[in-house]
Amino acid sequence: MNGTDLPLLRTTVPGPASRAWVDRLARTECPAITARRARRAAALGLSDDDPIVWAQAVGANVQDVDGNIFVDLTAGFGVAAAGHRDPGVVAALHAQAEALLHAMGDAFPDPRRIELMERLCAMTGMDRVILGSSGSDAVEAALKTARVATGRDGVLAFDRGYHGLSYGALAVGDYKAADFRAPFAGQLGPHLRVAAFGGPLPPADWLRSQEIGAVLVEPIQGRGGIRVPPHGWLSALRATCDQVGAALIFDEIYTGFGRTGAPFAFQGEGVRPDLLCVGKGLGGGFPISACLGTAAVMDAWGASKGEALHTQTFLGNPLGCAMALAALDRLEALAPAVGPLGEGLATALRARGLGVRGRGLLLGVTLPTGPDALALSRALLHRGYLALPAGEVRAGDDPRQAVVLALTPPLCITQAQLDGFLGALDQART
């Protein structure tokens, strides 16, 4: 397996080794975490379908514990944007492992952390950085910064937005396909207002009356169903924020680092946010994220008085920073191919009568009729292709009603692998 392989299935999917591992998983993991499909499928009246258990991955290939080789059109939730186990990222990991595994968060920095922050600022036009470990961390750092800079509690976000599931991030999400909020509603705070994504913006007077200090948006919605707002909508949002003195936060955790064909999805609009959240592909597989901001908002924090007002134990982990620096090299090299690959894929999907939305290699195939996206993702798995539904559903929150199949492959996926996927899709839909 070299990363550019087509699928090779040696057993039924999932095979016996995957099933045995999933049985063990079910004995220890909280049942709410991994969809153990044998049970969930039974509850939904679907065919038995446990997940496969991943053993290794490289480039756009994943191999399971039964030795089956798959082509990954998820990039592991967008993380393997530079490819799974990219050689440059692995070399950086090894080199860093020989020097320093852990520095001391806010107390003692190390050179890789400083280099990474410099690089991120140069790439984005932002001035300051708060590093984190997950996308949710970056979103929460941005919300806190907006609160510190504006003194206002209110947050305006958009329908079907997804910003993570830790409490601060969950409190500003409006994901519809699963009600992540309901069990925790009493602990989420009253500060969220929701407007239509891509729709008319609330009047400035109303935003002032609601004490809105932060406007949080994904320039293209990812989990919410790969939704692209109309051109000019992000600039209108910028103008509204300027009018009411709110900080504009772009959540580019999914869309950043070339996935849409541009370094960042917001860049085609000539808009500059006050705060920018990145994560997923940044670490090349290491859990690291960043909240970037202009000096105007970030410097509102003031200087540390000895106890950092915002930090965490693993802030700027040296392994993560070294891997991120290498991942950024690879992502920059892959970027020119993303637009053409994505356009070719979208054209081929449309030629099949399918609806397509998104940009670059962040595409959503819409399925208003016929098999739903969950059923299609299972049929594709049985043909050696990994793809998952994105949030939008036809009715209620029944996953059998998912209407969008998300395609977010590693940016190094080959044309032959995409052609193979199209063939598998044709078979899966008949």
Among 93, 130, 139, 149, binds ligand PLP (CB under 6 A): 139
By CB under 6 A, the residues from 219 to 278 that bind ligand PLP are 222-223, 251, 253-254
Nearer to ligand PLP among residue 66 and residue 218 (C-beta): 218
- Closest contact distance (angstroms) between CB of 19 and ligand PLP is 27
Of 264, 182, 263, nearest in space to 218 by CA: 264
Among 18, 63, 74, 134, binds ligand PLP (CB under 6 A): 134
Q: Can you name the residues that pair with 247 across neighbouring β-strands?
A: 214
Residue with tokens 């910028």: 238
Is-contact 33 88, C-beta < 8 A? no
- Which residue stretch of 118-126, 218-226, 336-344, 360-368 sits at the interface with ligand PLP (rule: CB under 6 A)? 218-226
21 lies in the binding site for ligand PLP (CB under 6 A)? no
- Closest contact distance (angstroms) between CB of 389 and ligand PLP is 13
164 lies in the binding site for ligand PLP (CB under 6 A)? yes
Q: Long-range contacts made by residues 34-43, C-beta under 8 angstroms, separation at least 24?
A: none
Residues 6+ apart with CB under 8 A from 64: 13, 14, 15, 17, 18, 52, 53, 54, 55, 70
Secondary element (H or E) of residue 346: helix 318-351
Q: How many residues bind ligand PLP (CB under 6 A)?
A: 15
- Which residue stretch of 5-13, 93-101, 158-166, 375-383 sits at the interface with ligand PLP (rule: CB under 6 A)? 158-166
DSSP per residue over 317-341, as a string? -HHHHHHHHHHHHHHHHHHHHHHHH
Nearer to ligand PLP among residue 50 and residue 251 (C-beta): 251
- Which residue stretch of 10-18, 58-66, 130-138, 367-375 sits at the interface with ligand PLP (rule: CB under 6 A)? 130-138
- Which residue stretch of 48-56, 129-137, 349-357, 359-367 sits at the interface with ligand PLP (rule: CB under 6 A)? 129-137
76 lies in the binding site for ligand PLP (CB under 6 A)? no
Nearer to ligand PLP among residue 70 and residue 286 (C-beta): 286
Is-contact 154 211, C-beta < 8 A? yes
59 lies in the binding site for ligand PLP (CB under 6 A)? no
Alpha carbons 380 and 292: distance in angstroms, whole number: 38
Alpha carbons 53 and 18: distance in angstroms, whole number: 5
Which residue number has the CB closest to ligand PLP? 135
Is-contact 374 351, C-beta < 8 A? no
Of 319, 344, 325, nearest in space to 409 by CA: 344
173 lies in the binding site for ligand PLP (CB under 6 A)? no
Nearer to ligand PLP among residue 3 and residue 164 (C-beta): 164
For the window 175-214, what string marks contact with ligand PLP as x by the rule CB under 6 A?
----------------------------------------
Phi-psi region of 201 (alpha: psi -120 to 50; beta: other; left: phi over 0): beta
Binding interface with ligand PLP (CB under 6 A): 77, 134-136, 139, 162-164, 218, 222-223, 251, 253-254, 279
